[in-house]
Amino acid sequence: MRAYELPVTEGKSGDPRWPAFACRYGFDPARPVQWEVEALEPAELQRLVLAAVDPYIDRDVLARQIAREEEQRRALAAFLDGWDAAGGGAPS
């Protein structure tokens, strides 16, 4: 947030996580703040999020999930093709 000079707004004073976060990163525990990450360019925000989660991704599980989703897409496309062929599509 410092590197990107994101806009800062007042944070939630009752957030029980703030004091530990403030101490860890050098902020005033008595003055909670929050940052507007939506001010980042979408591509940069995506890059930051992907870089943060990448070490925790199980590549085998991801590959199986992607294959499963592709199977579901093919099954749905085949169903829709059959539906249209049977005259079940929307009228023109």
**What is the count of structural domains for the chain?**
2
As a whole number of angstroms, the distance between CA 18 and CA 6 comes to: 18
- The encoded tokens of residue 3 equal 């590197």
Q: What is the pLDDT of residue 52?
A: 95
> Does residue 92 lie within any of the structural domains?
no
pTM above 0.75, yes or no: no
| Same-domain pairing of 52 and 76 | yes
Quickly count helices (H) and strands (E) in the chain: 3, 2
Q: Is residue 92 over pLDDT 70?
A: no
| Same-domain pairing of 47 and 11 | no
- Could you read off the pLDDT of 6-33 as tens digits, one per residue? 888 898 888 999 999 999 989 999 999 9
| Same-domain pairing of 45 and 81 | yes
- Could you read off the pLDDT of 34-77 as tens digits, one per residue? 988 888 999 999 999 999 999 999 999 999 999 999 999 999 99
| Same-domain pairing of 72 and 35 | no
Q: What is the CA radius of gyration of the chain?
A: 23
